[in-house]
Chains A and B, each alone.
Chain A
Amino acid sequence: MDTSIWQPILYLIGIMAFAGLNAAYLGWCERKGAGHVQRRIGPKEVGPYGLLQPLADGIKLMTKQLLVPQGVDGILFRVAPILAMIPAITSMVAIPFSPNIQARSIDLSVLLIFALASIGMMAVLIGGWASNNKYAMISATRAVSQNIAYEIPMLIMVITVVMMTGSMNLEDIAAKQQGGFWNWNIFPVAGESVAQALIMPVAFLIFFICSIAETNRAPFDMAEAESELIAGHMTEYGSMGFGLFMMGEYLNIVVGACLTTILFLGGWDCPLGLLPGVWWFLLKIYILIFTFIWIRWTYPRTQIYKLLNLSWKVLIPFSLGILLLTAIFIKVEGFLI
């Protein structure tokens, strides 16, 4: 491996550019997507197809005064937006975009990403608490209870995949799924047991639902339920403070989509086993991100207790069942088949 100083710097720039571009242009994608779902056009005035809109928004947000209201916790209030952004960018270090595009291959990369995701949730808590606003406070408490509820089924699903692969390194997990869609974890027909192939789609679904909830997206956007809590933890934030929260949210979506792709959709593998590469990876994550947007603009929001019920009464029992079945399939060779 090349040990020159340029490699980390190159990756740093690459990841920052990827993150920045995504954070800016997913906002544009979302607005375009929402527009077309609602039979509008969406942004169109700034640049061709409104492509310069994120730039205009960024300039607007940056030139606005960063207002710190009276009675807030000064330090935490300023720290929260940064904290929303950093874990999401840091997570990308561990994500393998293709066999040879990965900043750092870490043995426990799955664990690292989930640890960082929890820190990301701290941003909502700290921001909500420091704002000294009742709506923000309610939002912060909601976000935490939601996060706890949804991290459990999500991690159980990850454990299932880890058990099947035998590694906690994302690169290994993806590498094991190469060679066509029949090898992917979502429907591993070519795996040891066909019965396993029948439960994995459910596992994928649970993981996907949890990743929507984890990234605080509609219909699970309890923390920023705008018709109840105005903007939740972001109520008191203006200018780039708000901008960073939004960028953090979009980056979390990207990380969530990357994880889903690696854990279940074969990473950089082509569905037919031809020409694997980073393009397939990007295609898959953007399809997933589009699904996020599509879902957001289709459903009404759930209510916080219904949301927790869904996790504790449906997702957790199901995921535990899947975990148990997977363990049995792995241990008892040739089970059912």
Chain B
Amino acid sequence: MNEYWNDIFGGAKSLAVGLNITAREFFKPVVTEQYPHFVPRMTKRFRGHIELIPNEKTGAPNCVVCGMCQRACPSGCISLAGEKPEGAKKKVLTRYVLDFTTCSLCGSCVESCKFNAIRFSRDYNLAGTNKDDFVFDLLKRLEDKS
């Protein structure tokens, strides 16, 4: 019997406490970010898809086509090709394609690169309607940027 009254009065009190808390929260300012109107800034270490780093002087990619990133990638989403032009010492990148559909942003490629040639981008608005939208030609991207 004691429990019965406890349930009624204790219960009613707990319900009132709950209402009080939600009422207080009701008048507090909202905490959500209004996304399309306010665009969040990505942090320094944000992992977007990778992009090529241009050489500071020439603007050409730093990449020497060693293929370490290709080998390090667990999902095989990087494919690159290069050629050695006549008379040049180093290979020159001719094609760097990232298949973002299978990329899991683990960062193995960025870590494996010894030539400071790739980094994470800050792009996150990546919605698309076609699977082919996510096969990025990073070389073309770099040229478009510069």
A44 to B30 Cα, complex, angstroms: 13
User: In the bound complex, do residue B25 and residue A39 qualify as a contact, i.e. CB atoms below 8 Å apart?
Assistant: yes
Interface string of B16-45 (1 = CB under 8 A from A): 001101110111111110100000000000
Q: Is the C-beta of B15 less than 8 angstroms from some C-beta in chain A?
A: yes
User: In the bound complex, do residue A297 and residue B28 qualify as a contact, i.e. CB atoms below 8 Å apart?
Assistant: no
Q: Is the C-beta of A40 less than 8 angstroms from some C-beta in chain B?
A: yes
User: In the bound complex, do residue A37 and residue B30 qualify as a contact, i.e. CB atoms below 8 Å apart?
Assistant: no
User: In the bound complex, do residue B19 and residue A294 qualify as a contact, i.e. CB atoms below 8 Å apart?
Assistant: yes
Residues of chain A lying within 8 A (CB to CB) of residue B18: 298-299
Interface string of A84-107 (1 = CB under 8 A from B): 000000000000000000000000
User: In the bound complex, do residue A40 and residue B32 qualify as a contact, i.e. CB atoms below 8 Å apart?
Assistant: yes
Instruction: Report A213 CB to chain B, min CB distance, Å.
Output: 14
User: In the bound complex, do residue B32 and residue A37 qualify as a contact, i.e. CB atoms below 8 Å apart?
Assistant: no
User: In the bound complex, do residue B31 and residue A37 qualify as a contact, i.e. CB atoms below 8 Å apart?
Assistant: no
A294 to B32 Cα, complex, angstroms: 20
Residues of chain B lying within 8 A (CB to CB) of residue A37: 22, 25-26
User: In the bound complex, do residue A297 and residue B8 qualify as a contact, i.e. CB atoms below 8 Å apart?
Assistant: no
Residues of chain A lying within 8 A (CB to CB) of residue B32: 39-41
Q: A41-B34, A299-B15, A314-B8 given as contacts; is B22 within 8 A of A294 (CB)?
A: yes
Choose one: A39, A294, A295, A313; the contact of B30 (CB below 8 Å).
A39
- Which residue of the partner chain B has the closest CB to A205? B12
Residues of chain B lying within 8 A (CB to CB) of residue A38: 25
A38 to B8 Cα, complex, angstroms: 28
A257 to B23 Cα, complex, angstroms: 20
User: In the bound complex, do residue B29 and residue A297 qualify as a contact, i.e. CB atoms below 8 Å apart?
Assistant: no
Q: Is the C-beta of A134 less than 8 angstroms from some C-beta in chain B?
A: no
User: In the bound complex, do residue A36 and residue B30 qualify as a contact, i.e. CB atoms below 8 Å apart?
Assistant: yes
A39 to B27 Cα, complex, angstroms: 8
Interface string of B29-64 (1 = CB under 8 A from A): 111101000000000000000000000000000000
User: In the bound complex, do residue B19 and residue A39 qualify as a contact, i.e. CB atoms below 8 Å apart?
Assistant: no
Residues of chain B lying within 8 A (CB to CB) of residue A295: 19
User: In the bound complex, do residue B26 and residue A36 qualify as a contact, i.e. CB atoms below 8 Å apart?
Assistant: yes
A126 to B134 Cα, complex, angstroms: 50
Instruction: Report A310 CB to chain B, min CB distance, Å.
Output: 9
User: In the bound complex, do residue B31 and residue A39 qualify as a contact, i.e. CB atoms below 8 Å apart?
Assistant: yes
Instruction: Report A326 CB to chain B, min CB distance, Å.
Output: 20
Instruction: Report A247 CB to chain B, min CB distance, Å.
Output: 26
User: In the bound complex, do residue B30 and residue A297 qualify as a contact, i.e. CB atoms below 8 Å apart?
Assistant: no
Q: A39-B29, A314-B8 given as contacts; is B34 within 8 A of A297 (CB)?
A: no
A273 to B58 Cα, complex, angstroms: 85
- Which residue of the partner chain A has the closest CB to B14? A299
Instruction: Report A320 CB to chain B, min CB distance, Å.
Output: 16
Residues of chain A lying within 8 A (CB to CB) of residue B15: 299
A313 to B21 Cα, complex, angstroms: 29
Residues of chain B lying within 8 A (CB to CB) of residue A299: 15, 18
Residues of chain A lying within 8 A (CB to CB) of residue B26: 33, 36-37, 294
Choose one: A39, A41, A294, A313; the contact of B23 (CB below 8 Å).
A294
A109 to B34 Cα, complex, angstroms: 49
List residues of A (267-301) whose CB comes within 8 Å of B's CBs: 294-295, 297-299
Residues of chain A lying within 8 A (CB to CB) of residue B30: 35-36, 39-41
Instruction: Report B14 CB to chain A, min CB distance, Å.
Output: 10
A33 to B23 Cα, complex, angstroms: 10
- Which residue of the partner chain B has the closest CB to A42? B30
Residues of chain A lying within 8 A (CB to CB) of residue B22: 37, 294, 297-298
A39 to B26 Cα, complex, angstroms: 7
A35 to B29 Cα, complex, angstroms: 11
Residues of chain A lying within 8 A (CB to CB) of residue B21: 298
A161 to B4 Cα, complex, angstroms: 27
Residues of B within 8 A of A (CB): 4, 8, 15, 18-19, 21-23, 25-32, 34
Q: Which 5 A-B pairs have the closest CB atoms?
A: A298-B22, A39-B31, A298-B18, A40-B32, A37-B22
